[in-house]
Amino acid sequence: MSILIDKNTKVITQGITGATGLFHAQGARDYGTQMVGGVTPGKGGTSVDGFPIFNTVEDAVKETGATASVIYVPPIGSADAIMEAVDAGIELVICITEGVPVLDMVKVNKYMECRNSRLVGPNCPGVITPGECKIGIMPGYIHKPGPVGVLSRSGTLTYEAVWQLTSRDIGQTTCVGIGGDPVNGTSHLDVLKMFEADPETKAVIMIGEIGGDAEEQAAEYVRDHMSKPVAAFIAGATAPAGKRMGHAGAIISGGKGDAASKKAFLRECGVSVADSPADMAEALLKIWQP
């Protein structure tokens, strides 16, 4: 078991004829993911490196039976691509694209109300269930199958956590990058609920950032409902207020969302918090043994 994706997940790539889309579609296929095709309007009926291409997501779903889609479409068309996938009945939409306008995402989230799809991202590394299915841009080889769920707003910092686990011979059930934007699809809280419900996930590492209060909401869930141990790291203790640290969401505004208050609240809720990013795995091992 795992969450969101497994070896049976069939995936299409939106924006597959772009250099980035194709590169990562090939990478995912090499990893063993069932990459069943791609969508590029105007190139339907052709193929690229063995991937059949369709004009619309609707056509792709009809022909391939895909239930997941990964989006590499440039920011100007990302929101439209997400909504097209949702409309076609794709269950899991993962948007990798960085730089999607915030107000586009406000509309997308409204569009998704009362529809049955889940969105991960945008501006995220994707989702991987080690040994089974990789959707996104993370390097596959640093992961290994095992009992720890990993979730994060950041890409490379997730790799860091995963690597700390793998080099201690501890594997992962699923690693989810939810993305660094202020308005996105899946939240920390959503992923924690899934990890709690997944029998194979025994413990969780959650990586947060300054800005907003999503980590606090997740911590309340840990305190009130979660039976599994959770360790965390919050990036941005040294970030000055009012400056946006690369991620649009990583900004301290009005004295809210700073690292110190987030860490304190997480600790109050029973989360094992690492002060140093080098100690994420250690923080988990303090409260849990594999």
Partner 1 sequence: MNIHEYQAKAILRYFGVPVPEGHVVYNSNSARDWAKRLGDGPWAVKAQIHAGGRGKGGGVKIAKTADEVKQYARQMFGMTLVTHQTGPEGKIVKRVLVEEGSNIADEYYVSFLVDRTTDKVTLMASAEGGMNIEEVAAKTPEKLFFEAIDPVVGLTAFQARKVAFKLGFAMPQVKQAVPVLMNLYKAFVESDCSLLEINPLIQTAEGKLICLDAKLNFDDNALFRHLRIRDLRDYEEEDPMEIEAGQYDLSYISLDGNIGCMVNGAGLAMATMDIIQLHGASPANFLDVGGSATVERVTEAFKIILSDKKVEGILVNIFGGIMKCDVIATGVVEAAKQVGIKIPLVVRLEGTNVDLGKKILAKSGLDIVSADGMADAAEKIVKAVNG
**Given the rule CB under 8 A, which of 38-46, 62-70, 136-144, 219-227 is the region that contacts partner 1?**
136-144
* Shortest Å, Cβ 228 to partner 1: 23
One of 76, 197, 260, 287 touching partner 1 (CB under 8 A): 76
126 touches 137 (CB < 8 A)? yes
Residue 254's contacts (CB-CB under 8 Å, 6 or more residues apart) are none
With contacts defined by CB under 8 A, name the span among 41-49, 152-160, 189-197, 221-229 that binds partner 1.
Answer: 152-160
Establish if 83 lies at the interface with partner 1 (CB under 8 A): no
Closest CB to partner 1 among residues 197, 237: 237
With binding defined as CB under 8 A, does residue 157 bind partner 1?
Answer: yes
# chain residues binding partner 1, by CB under 8 A: 62
Query: Is there binding between residue 166 and partner 1 (CB under 8 A)?
Result: no
Sites for partner 1 among residues 220-249 (CB under 8 A): 233, 235-240, 242-243, 245-249
188 given a catalytic annotation: no
Residue of 26, 34, 163, 290 interacting with partner 1 (CB under 8 A): 163
Q: Is 221 exposed, middle or buried (0-12, 13-18, 19+ CB in 10 A)?
A: middle
Q: Which residues of 30-46 are buried (b: 16+ CB within 10 A; e: fewer)?
A: ebebbbbbbbbeeeeee
Binding mask 113-132 for partner 1 (x = CB under 8 A): ------------x-------
Name the helix (H) or strand (E) containing 174: strand 172-177
Q: CA dihedral defined by 160, 163, 165, 168, rounded to 10 degrees?
A: -130
Q: Using the structure block, give the residue that is written with the tokens 């094992």.
A: 272
Closest approach of partner 1 to the CB of residue 76, in Å: 6
d(CA 281, CA 12): 33
Residue 103 binds partner 1 (CB under 8 A): yes
Q: Where do we find the tokens 């923080």?
A: 283
For residue 109, state whether it binds partner 1 (rule: CB under 8 A).
yes
- Measure the CA–CA gap between 45 and 193, rounded to whole angstroms: 40
User: In the set 46, 47, 156, 289, which binds partner 1 (CB under 8 A)?
Assistant: 156
The residue type of 221 is: Y
Is residue 101 within the footprint of partner 1 (CB under 8 A)? yes
- Asked if residue 33 lies in contact with residue 9, where contact means CB atoms within 8 angstroms, the answer is yes
Cβ-based burial of 91 (10 A; exposed 0-12, middle 13-18, buried ≥19): middle
Does residue 65 interact with partner 1 by CB under 8 A?
Answer: no
CB of 11 to partner 1, least distance (A): 18
CA angle, 217 then 90 then 209, to 5°:
25
Chain residues in the site for partner 1 (CB under 8 A):
20, 75-76, 99-107, 109-110, 125, 137-139, 142, 152-160, 163, 180, 182-183, 207, 209-214, 233, 235-240, 242-243, 245-250, 254-255, 259, 275-279
Q: Which residues are catalytic?
A: 247
